[in-house]
Amino acid sequence: MDEYEMEELRKRKMLELQAKLQEQQRQEELRQQYEAQKRLAMQQILTPEARSRLANIRAAKPEYAEQIELQLIQLAQTGKLTSQITDAQLREILKRVQARKREIKIRRA
């Protein structure tokens, strides 16, 4: 390889890295927009006490909190929620979801 080919190779690699970085930045911006929309939806769906409870759950079980948030957003989008969900209502929802998870049992013969 001569000097010219090496320089071309460096330029190509630099362009690839820049493109990859731009894609990562775009993905991060999309994720931040999604999180902002989800936060706004939760403010409309839940009372402050219920949001606080969900934040505590998120600290302990992030996947579980994400699942609950998505279910609540779906309920709101389909029009099944007529008012904000209170802390007591959220606790009932959590009990029902938790009960469904516990019903799964594996028995060995």
Structural domains in the chain, CATH included, are 3-101 (1.10.8.140)
Under the banding of pLDDT at 50, 70 and 90, the label for residue 103 is low
Amino acid at 102: R
What is the overall mean pLDDT for the chain? 90
Q: What is the pLDDT of residue 92?
A: 92
Question: CB of 17 within 8 A of CB of 24?
Answer: no
Mean per-residue pLDDT, 50-69: 93
The tokens describing 13, both together, are: 């690699």
pTM of the predicted protein model: 0.67
Whether the predicted pLDDT of 25 surpasses 80: yes
Q: What is the pLDDT of residue 96?
A: 86
What are the strands, taking DSSP E only, across the chain? none
> Which percentage of the chain shows pLDDT scores above 70?
93
